[in-house]
Structure 1
Amino acid sequence: MRQLLYLFLLFFFSIFLACEEVGPPVNLSGGGTGGNGGDSSNQRIVLMEEFTAVACINCPKGHEIIADLLDSFPGRIEVVEIHSGDLAEPINDTDPDFRTVDGNDLTNYLGPFPFQPSASIDRKLWEVAPGDFQRLVDRSFWSTFVKSELDSAAKVKLTIEKDYNSSSRELNVILNAEFLEDISDIVNATILITESGMVAAQDDGPVEVIEDYVHKYVLRDILTNYSGELINASTTTGNTWALSKSITLPLEWNADNCRIVAFIAKAVGNYDVLQVVGTPVN
């Protein structure tokens, strides 16, 4: 009898436990995006500014390295392709011209570049050989320096709010910054536009020309000064700051292929980028 009672109680408790309701999982880590644009969260994102050109025979190899990095670290890298110098003149008369005044100004500000392709990784001075520090570095260093920056801590959280009117082609952008630690340096904010998906002839090696080469992340315009705009507010932990800019996109730009890239960088002594964020225009 005791054995039957024990079996009955065991069966009863088994049914009770099996019917206990389990609630939905709770996300304790937060997440999501800020506003209707990009959000850097607290994760470090790296800015790559590549100095490239259509008549640069090694530039496609640089583009391949960037593509591999983007595949390896999705959402962690923002790319800006700056076409400047003698090799940036269009190969064919019918090709679009990717050169800009802003691109030339950036070349002088960060460079001049020693060769093409070369790239700035968060605008830092990198030691490429004992005692030899360079801001625009050879493609053989890109992966190493990008990975080094990805491991660093974010000092600023950035978000982008945007409003694009497809009829008027007017784009309004607000860059929001929240400082995650005290910043003692003078810092500037930059907002720019890139465009991808444009076709133009590109040299690939000493003899081959790819007539239908698809160019990506091409610098179109810098909405601020090319060196950025001064953040004239307290940059201590917890403080916030915002910058608004507007532009009417030229008709030849494909808004669906355009991207807003914004970042904060040191302004005096060195130009180290503290954080970057990006989001599509449309």
Structure 2
Amino acid sequence: MSIRISAEKAQLLKGAKIVGIEYVHSTAQLSNLNFFITNQLGEKPLYTEAAGSTGTRWKKLNLTTPFTITGEEFFVGYTCETESESYRPHLFDLSNDLGNAVQWALFDDKWEDISNKGYGAANIRLLVEGAPTFADATIKPVATSGFYKVGEGYEFSGQLFNFGTETLHSFDLTCQIGESEPAVFHVENVEVAPQTTYDFAIPKYIPTTSGRSNFKMTVSNINGKADADNTDNLSEQTTRIYPEDTKKKILLEMFTGQACGNCPDGHKVLHNATAANHDQFIEVAHHAGYSPDAFTMKEDMEYVWLYNSNQTFAPGVTFNRAAYTDGQASVVLQANDANVVKVGVAGSLMTEPFLDVNLDNQFDASSRKGTLTVEVKTYFKPSENEHRLNVFLTQDSIISYQSGAGNQYVHNAVFRGSLTDVWGEVIALNEGETLTKTYEYTIPENIVSSQANKVPVPTNLQHMKLVAFVSDATPSPLTCVVHNAESIQVKDNTGTGIEDLTFTDYSLSVNQNEISINGAVASATVYNAAGIAVAQLQGTGRVNLSSGLYIVKMTGNNGKVATQKICIK
């Protein structure tokens, strides 16, 4: 592992002496640690010295003979022995490195530049004596990955490193996307000591044009004067800006089962984790990964391939069939682990859609036949992989048995079949073009599981949806990422179809997130604003709800019906 000191930096330090090296690793399991200084990697070093120890706290090696900096480019690094096959033990904090060909690593006897490639920071610091006074700020590579749209404001953040010997008190940051007018932000009254970093976040910057654009972030006017070395004052990446009407939806696929006693808790974890962005998530529940049940379809059993393992479990969940942490062995996460789910939700919200999916559905309730038109508009080609379009049929508000919740559990987003092949239809994505596909379908009166408990499950047209999504298609379940999705009701619902008030012998009260129903009530069903049943009671009782608008339908002991709207804040 090595760091490069450029000729520009070396000129600033010319005549000064390196008297020591500070270093830290993420493990103490390294041996034969030897530091070197060289003008050219792979050639005989100008200086070598062995280090006595290593570990996860900063250590200092005092050079036996101080090394004089000549003003030429040079490298400082080390060799060691370790049983690890990864470079992670050498890269302690995994933060953004300095970029600009600063970091180098030895791969198969060849030194390669690993700067700004996600490895992190090689934690090596030089102790220099006799350096002149100068101001020099280095801007680290600014992360620009994410979903950006025209007309919306975004806060870009980054980090400066003070390479100079002066404390930084003020500087200018300039942000520019494409050919838009640069925005300059002046930072003052700060104290950035030499060899330390400063985290910054610029106020909201609003892109004005869509398409591929160069993103530039520069630092200048250091302490009111020119930077001593301006070769590392620019961070530049290509970013993608989407039209302001671009819609992005996230495919949330659950793996569940009626015999899974932990699944109701997993469903609650998912509901809570996605509540703040509920409209962006499209849910599909596969009754697979556990024991097959009355809702399991043959396609559900195929999708357990996404586990990337012979060992499956429930409740499971995958967000866009993507992995959002390094080293993730499966895209299917434990749905009842709130911390794991939180990472998946956050990661999925940050990803780019690359394309838009729009749906139009024409349905004749009398014949139960429909025609679905899917439009896929590609803004940017997601990858060079094969791409596929999938269309699912789901059903909400199925009241049935659930282990851990009883016989009146409300099953939502239940997978009922596919209008395409199991893994979708191959499509060609070309930037700037719109692809249109049409699917004709018929919804039967009942759907029967192809796996177990072959009891007909009635289809309720008012609670059925069509879900379309576009994904990569590869031989690995770790790389079949979904890019965007959309859903549409099979039958256009104008309201919930709930009867008007016809009896008054009840009381309904709201206490924070809990509603309480009392009186001559035989049963009660709670519907969300979309008309989907989210809870049911036999008789009176209490129900906990998240924030939102709801309609409560109550059937009295006399068979008559009452409804009431409530708001949970």
TM-score band, normalised by the shorter chain?
Answer: 0.7 to 0.9
- Is residue 263 of structure 1 aligned with residue 498 of structure 2? no
**Alignment partner for residue 348 of structure 2, among 128, 137, 149?**
149
| Distance in 2 (alpha carbons) for counterparts of 1:65 and 1:153 | 25
Alignment TM-score, normalising by the size of structure 1: 0.76
Contact residue 187 and residue 265 of structure 1 kept, 8 A: yes
Q: 1:236 to 1:86 in 2, by over 3 A?
A: closer
**Alignment partner for residue 164 of structure 1, among 360, 363, 374?**
363
- Is residue 249 of structure 1 aligned with residue 455 of structure 2? no
| Distance in 1 (alpha carbons) for counterparts of 2:356 and 2:342 | 24
Contact residue 392 and residue 417 of structure 2 kept, 8 A: yes
* Number of positions where the alignment pairs a residue of Structure 1 with one of Structure 2: 230
Offset at residue 108 of structure 1 (A): 3.2
Q: Deviations over 1:73-94 (max 9, x none)?
A: 13100010000255233xxxxx
Mapping of residues 1-282 of structure 1, within 5 Å: 41-85=245-289, 87-89=291-293, 97-108=294-305, 111=308, 114-127=312-325, 131-139=327-335, 140=337, 141-183=340-382, 184-204=384-404, 209-231=405-427, 233=428, 235-251=429-445, 252-268=458-474, 269=476, 270-282=479-491
Contact residue 46 and residue 146 of structure 1 kept, 8 A: no
Q: 1:230 to 1:126 in 2, by over 3 A?
A: same
Offset at residue 53 of structure 1 (A): 0.2
Contact residue 164 and residue 170 of structure 1 kept, 8 A: yes
Unaligned runs of 5+ in 2: 1-149, 152-243, 446-457, 492-569
Q: 1:77 to 1:85 in 2, by over 3 A?
A: closer
Offset at residue 100 of structure 1 (A): 0.6
| Distance in 2 (alpha carbons) for counterparts of 1:158 and 1:173 | 13
Match in the other structure for 1:12: none
Offset at residue 42 of structure 1 (A): 1.6
Amino acid aligned to 1:172:
T
Offset at residue 194 of structure 1 (A): 0.4
Match in the other structure for 2:565: none
Offset at residue 44 of structure 1 (A): 2.5
Runs of 4+ with deviation above 4 angstroms: 109-113
Contact residue 196 and residue 258 of structure 1 kept, 8 A: yes
Contact residue 290 and residue 313 of structure 2 kept, 8 A: no
Contact residue 180 and residue 238 of structure 1 kept, 8 A: yes
Find the structure with the greater CA-based Rg: 2
More strand by share: 2
Amino acid aligned to 1:74:
H
- Partner-residue secondary structure (3-state), 1:225: coil
- Partner-residue secondary structure (3-state), 1:57: coil
| Distance in 1 (alpha carbons) for counterparts of 2:356 and 2:467 | 14
| Distance in 2 (alpha carbons) for counterparts of 1:98 and 1:114 | 18
Select the structure with the greater relative contact order (CA < 8 A; seq sep ≥ 6).
Answer: 1
Q: 1:83 to 1:142 in 2, by over 3 A?
A: same
Amino acid aligned to 2:330:
Q
Identity over aligned pairs, percent:
21
- Partner-residue secondary structure (3-state), 2:376: strand
Amino acid aligned to 2:250:
V
- Partner-residue secondary structure (3-state), 1:87: coil
| Distance in 1 (alpha carbons) for counterparts of 2:418 and 2:245 | 24
Contact residue 44 and residue 151 of structure 1 kept, 8 A: no
Q: Deviations over 1:199-233 (max 9, x none)?
A: 111111xxxx51111100000011101111000x3
| Distance in 2 (alpha carbons) for counterparts of 1:71 and 1:86 | 26
Report the RMSD for the aligned CA atoms in angstroms: 2.1
| Distance in 2 (alpha carbons) for counterparts of 1:211 and 1:226 | 31
Q: Deviations over 1:131-169 (max 9, x none)?
A: 342111112222221221112222001100111100000
| Distance in 2 (alpha carbons) for counterparts of 1:46 and 1:171 | 25
Offset at residue 278 of structure 1 (A): 0.9
Amino acid aligned to 1:108:
W
Q: 1:228 to 1:110 in 2, by over 3 A?
A: farther
| Distance in 2 (alpha carbons) for counterparts of 1:244 and 1:133 | 36
| Distance in 2 (alpha carbons) for counterparts of 1:108 and 1:132 | 15
Q: Deviations over 1:161-206 (max 9, x none)?
A: 11110000002111100001123321000001100111111111xx
Amino acid aligned to 1:258:
M
Amino acid aligned to 2:283:
V
Amino acid aligned to 1:259:
K
Alignment TM-score, normalising by the size of structure 2: 0.39
Contact residue 110 and residue 123 of structure 1 kept, 8 A: no
| Distance in 2 (alpha carbons) for counterparts of 1:211 and 1:105 | 28
- Partner-residue secondary structure (3-state), 2:408: coil
Q: Deviations over 1:26-52 (max 9, x none)?
A: xx97xxxxxxxxxx9523211111110
